[in-house]
């Protein structure tokens, strides 16, 4: 299974980014998918997840109201819209299955700084 994350970059505080993650080599539409992030010196944390049909979402308190997860099962892609970004959102962002993660992709770097 290959996970390819994209869409990261450098953004000023208060800005927005939209991350994408394309999955290949596996069935996609039966799995709950999540976006995770890992800042230097910290453990990887789950910031949002979405059920297989895209009907139910859940967010970490730190991103609730600012981030929106969505998915396109036909394209085997999961998205993360990030608004009102803060410096503490700086991290490498990854997508994966919420349960029994596949091998991790390379992630996409998000840096929030003025």
The strand ranges marked E within 7-44 are 9-11, 17-24, 33-38
**Structure token pair of residue 71:** 């998915």
pLDDT at 62: 97
- For 43, the token pair is 């453990």
- Alpha-carbon distance 49 to 96, whole Å? 9
In which band, very low, low, confident or very high, does the pLDDT at 103 lie, cut at 50, 70 and 90? very high
The values of phi and psi at residue 87, to 5°, are: -55, -30
Sequence-ordered list of residues with C-beta below 8 angstroms from that of 75, at least 6 positions apart, any chain: 22
Instruction: Using CB atoms within 10 Å of the CB of residue 16, give its burial: 0 to 12 exposed, 13 to 18 middle, 19+ buried.
Output: exposed
Q: What confidence score (pLDDT) does residue 81 get? A: 98
Summarize pLDDT for 11-69 with one digit per residue, the tens: 999 999 999 999 999 899 999 999 999 999 999 999 999 999 999 999 999 999 999 99
- The pLDDT score that the predictor gives to residue 95 is 98
pLDDT of residue 36: 98
Q: Are 78 and 71 in contact (CB under 8 A)?
A: yes
What is the per-residue pLDDT for 74?
A: 96
Mean pLDDT in residue range 79-99 = 97
């Amino acid at each position: 299974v290959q996970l390819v994350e994209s869409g990261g970059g450098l953004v000023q505080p208060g800005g927005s980014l939209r991350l994408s993650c394309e999955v290949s080599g596996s069935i996609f539409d039966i799995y709950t998918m999540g976006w995770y992030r890992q800042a230097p010196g910290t453990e990887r944390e789950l910031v949002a997840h979405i059920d297989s049909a895209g009907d139910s979402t859940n967010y970490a308190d730190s991103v609730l109201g600012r981030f929106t997860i969505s998915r396109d099962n036909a394209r085997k892609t999961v998205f993360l819209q990030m608004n009102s970004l803060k410096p503490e959102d700086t991290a490498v962002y990854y997508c994966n299955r919420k349960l029994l993660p596949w091998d991790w992709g390379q992630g996409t770097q998000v840096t929030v700084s003025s």
